[in-house]
Amino acid sequence: MSALLSFDQAPTLSAPLRYFLTAPLFATLAGVLILYSGPDLFASRWTPTALALTHLITVGFMLQVVVGAMQQLLPVVVGANFPRPLLTATLVHASITLGALFLAAAFLTYAPLLFDAAVVCLAAGVSLFIVAAVSALRGMAWSNPTVLGFKLSLIGLGVTVLIGVVLAVSLRLQLDWPMLTLTNLHLGWGFMVWACTLIATVAYVTVPMFQLTPEYPAWFSRHFALSVLASVALWTVAELAGLTLTATLLTVVIVVLSGGFTLLTLRLLAQSKHAKPDASHVFWIVSMVSALAACGLWLAARVIDLLGHWQGWPPLFGVLLLMGCFMSVMVGMLYKIVPFLVWLHLQNLGRGLVKAPNMKKVLPQVRIERQMLAHLLALALLLLAVVWPGWFVYPAGLALICASGWLWLNLLCATAVYRNQRHKIAIAMASADRKLNGG
């Protein structure tokens, strides 16, 4: 697969890096919000703090990482170049950053103007990104599983944001719309057609390349994203039409599909040729196990009355999916993507005169492993906090702040290596020019 990558198509480093450096700050804010809320946070999925926390993670952390990764991966993996990538990154990053802040504040205060500001910023930023990505992918063959996955994930992102705008307008105008149904559709399109499809698409490339595993089966990579889209679309129709039994059966299909992806990925990871699994490998395993646990919890809540009536199962499901699955895999990918990008750009700048530092020197493994332990501790404490909030919610908040802040510092460390090495390259280039000119 690496032979198919077009490294010369990579955009300016600052384009994706701004997203990656912003994402941990939102996760840190999520930890602060947990401390502010205290044990009441997990009383219900509908509390203002729970809604704000959810969107700090999904919009503040996940969307930042995903948009940054796509702006980097589309040119390199499939040769899809964004029009004016730096300008696009500047405008999209500013819009979704402000939008995430406004949205979290809106849920905490229910101030109408904040909802208005959040809708405008997020709709503008995501729309601009989707238009730019579609323009980049125009003419790319749908038969390519990676191109197909990226295109379908963009559909998922667009529908997710559209439903979110409808929900915000409904709250703003106090309309009598089916809020529960719309919220479930918002989650379904966001978690499955956007996030799960995108992670699977990225996994087709990065898991074999970075984790040294066999390739995903061709039949799976060709059909998984389409199966997810079709299932979620049919489920949406059934929900809106009030076909309860059909909708329930389709949700089971959706959960089984996601469970199948996690099981297949775990199987491939077990065949890794790494002599010693690194932190990124562990993050992938934690992510897939968490996703599998979330799928099992969802199915169990449907068949076990006692569990289904427990108010804590939706927050537990949310922690497994957001912190355990999506955040874990995205942190693991950042630890591969950012050092690789620094190495790649320095290699291009050096032009053979100055050798780029090894990826492990860009970001030492010991720093990654220590942050990984902090992340795993935060995940464990959050899971415990759902069951025993009085005992564990404050340690969980502190642990999330620590883990997220540590991630930010690690990414800053890689950025500092890039800046220092770029300075050395500039000096070497100036010296080479003087010699050529006889100076």
- Tell me the C-alpha distance between 314 and 311, whole Å: 7
pLDDT category, 427, cuts 50, 70, 90?
confident
Secondary structure (DSSP) of 358-415: PHHHHS-HHHHHHHHHHHHHHHHHHHHHHHSHHHHHHHHHHHHHHHHHHHHHHHHHHH
- Tell me the C-alpha distance between 160 and 318, whole Å: 17
| In contact, 420 and 344? CB cutoff 8 Å | no
Rounded to an integer, the average pLDDT of 290-304 is 93
Place of tokens 């720093």: 367
- Tell me the C-alpha distance between 279 and 277, whole Å: 7
Does domain 8-430 correspond to CATH entry 3.30.420.80?
Answer: no
| In contact, 422 and 359? CB cutoff 8 Å | no
Q: Inform me whether the pLDDT recorded for 310 exceeds 60.
A: yes
Identity (one letter) of the amino acid at 159? V
pLDDT digits (tens, 9 = 90+) for 54-78: 999 999 999 999 999 888 888 877 7
| In contact, 371 and 42? CB cutoff 8 Å | no
Q: Which of 45-49, 139-143, 416-420 has the lowest mean pLDDT?
A: 139-143
pLDDT at position 432 is 64
Long-range contacts of 311-314 (CB under 8 A, 24+ apart): 311/43, 311/44, 312/42, 312/386, 312/387, 314/45
Q: Inform me whether the pLDDT recorded for 296 exceeds 80.
A: yes
| In contact, 356 and 381? CB cutoff 8 Å | no
pLDDT digits (tens, 9 = 90+) for 195-249: 999 999 999 988 998 888 999 999 999 999 999 999 999 999 999 998 999 999 9
Rg (CA), the chain: 22
For the chain, what are the domain ranges? 8-430
| In contact, 96 and 365? CB cutoff 8 Å | no
pLDDT category, 11, cuts 50, 70, 90?
low
pTM over 0.85: yes
Residue of 176 and 330 predicted with greater confidence: 330
Distance (Å) of CA 113 to CA 109, 328, 356: 10, 34, 49
- Tell me the C-alpha distance between 312 and 298, whole Å: 12
Q: Inform me whether the pLDDT recorded for 3 exceeds 50.
A: no
- Closest-CA residue to 382 (of 401, 396, 394, 395): 396
Place of tokens 């730019």: 132
Answer left, alpha or beta for residue 5, where phi above 0 means left and psi between -120 and 50 means alpha.
beta
